[in-house]
Structure 1
Amino acid sequence: MAEQNVTNDHPEKNPSWTAHDQKRDAKAQYALYSIFKRPLGGTDIDNPEEAVKLFEDVVESYKSRVTVRGVYDVSNFRAGADLLVWVHGPNLQDIQALMRDIRKTPLFAGLEPTWQVGGVHVIAEFNRMHAPAFQEGHAPRKWITIYPFVRKADWYLMDNRERALMLREHGSEASKFTNVLANTVAAFAMSDYEWMLAFESDDPTELVELMRTMRYTKARMYMKNELPFHFGRRIEYGELPVVLRYL
């Protein structure tokens, strides 16, 4: 499967997009991004290897219902963040249940969730190109940056043609980054934000350059908020004890 570039995942390109009035050819896909930190002085665990196995067992028990896209070392890039867990699936209750069970495991029992945002994407019958990379079957990349954003109110009320022109420019700039995978989900009502984005790349500098480049587009003038950013590296489950300072 060819790589998906960042232009292939932008529901805002369709001004009339809603979750209610489009014909659908797939079930809703929900995504949840959870940031955890291990408090200073937190309780150690006796057997880190066994703790990893217990975590893996929980993930395995949900694999037919929820996909763990990855766990990411986001430590030392900002305070209050050690680990990102990114999961997705067709049923919100299953996602919630998985996260509850993960937090019961020894690796996570002593962690504090410091930031969590969920979102949803539904593939429209007439516009499959807007599907997130995770839904299209693209393999995860090594590095990730995630962030929410909220548009200014007049963005949604402007003339459709004017908005389309700005998004065309936006997409043209983004298309230069062909090795970056984009994942956009709607977060309206599910959080304090409107959209949630995750960009993936094997080269972390590509993510830096992508975000810098997008600052020079007109659509940027209609951004109200796009914080916080979380940035990190996808890790193997066996690395969790080191990242969480159990070893």
Structure 2
Amino acid sequence: MPERQFVKYTFLKVDPAWRRLDAEERAIHKREFLAACEDFSSERLLRAFSLVGTRGDADLLLLTQATNLERIHEFHVVLSQSGLMGWAETPYSFLAMTKPSEYSDESRLEVRPQHSKYLFVYPFVKTREWYGVDPKERWRIMQEHIRVGKEYPDVDLNTSYSFGLDDQEFVVAFEGDEPAVFLDLVQRLRTTESSLFTKRDTPTFTCIAMSVERALNALDGATVGVTA
């Protein structure tokens, strides 16, 4: 049986002044960043996404997963030593864990990347009234929510839980190849009874899946130069 996992969504925004540095200096910064990512991903899940062109307040997302929080901590310590991180800030950061769902028999003990073209991510908070509803009634309400999701089989859902770990209660991450299909799904979910108990489901991030190297190149339009 899979172990429960810690899941970390780290959004980075690069100072525009970094792009005016000498090309070789930028290449060194990217190689250092890439080396840290390759070391972590040799044994654990790490996925990179570009937000260039989809958000104005974030340029890159790193999705990491590990069975212990110390390994995620160590990765970010090493990452911070790269030259690029000296020019970057973290406008958003979501920490969560996997756990079995209360409303579905489907295993959710690890993030299961499908390598779709896009990842749609947002933090999610329910109203306090939701937790006062009878458990059987909550189950009934969520079955409608799940049923609507199944009407869009090309969109895969990964939900992780943040109770007590971070400001949100859940981190919701949908994968798919067609943004229009995801848009239609979200609009359809607004009509369900469960939507009445949503307190917050923003900010929303549309992320383009790619290798770490390509995501780094998207920051300045230049190549890394030398493989780490």
Residue 59 of structure 1 corresponds to 37
TM-score, normalization by structure 2: 0.86
TM-align CA RMSD = 2.2
Per-residue deviation at 1:239?
1.9
Residue 142 of structure 1 corresponds to 117
Contact 1:52 1:237 in 2 (8 A): no
Contact 1:133 1:181 in 2 (8 A): no
**Counterpart AA for 2:58:** A
**Counterpart AA for 1:85:** L
Give me the identity figure in percent: 21
Per-residue deviation at 1:234?
0.8
Residue 64 of structure 2 corresponds to 87
Q: Alignment length, in residue pairs?
A: 218
TM-score, normalization by structure 1: 0.79
**Counterpart AA for 1:34:** T
Pair 133,96 (structure 1): closer, same or farther in 2 beyond 3 Å: closer
Residue segments in structure 1 that go unaligned for 5+ positions in a row? 1-24
Residue segments in structure 2 that go unaligned for 5+ positions in a row? 223-228
Residue 245 of structure 1 corresponds to 220
Contact 1:183 1:197 in 2 (8 A): yes
Contact 2:12 2:59 in 1 (8 A): yes
Residue 91 of structure 2 corresponds to 114
Per-residue deviation at 1:130?
3.7
Pair 101,115 (structure 1): closer, same or farther in 2 beyond 3 Å: same
Per-residue deviation at 1:84?
0.9
Q: Distance in 2 between matches of 1:133 and 1:121?
A: 6
Residue 131 of structure 1 corresponds to 108
Whose helix fraction is larger, Structure 1's or Structure 2's? Answer: 2
Superposed CA deviations along residues 69-110 of structure 1, whole A, max 9, x for unmatched, are: x21111233331111111111011101111221232233331
**Counterpart AA for 2:14:** R
Residue 37 of structure 1 corresponds to 13
Pair 119,101 (structure 1): closer, same or farther in 2 beyond 3 Å: same
Contact 1:149 1:194 in 2 (8 A): yes
Are 1:71 and 2:48 matched, yes or no? Answer: yes
For 2:16, what is the secondary structure of its paired residue? coil
Pair 133,89 (structure 1): closer, same or farther in 2 beyond 3 Å: closer
Deviating more after overlay: 154-163 vs 35-44: 35-44
Per-residue deviation at 1:246?
5.8
Per-residue deviation at 1:32?
0.4
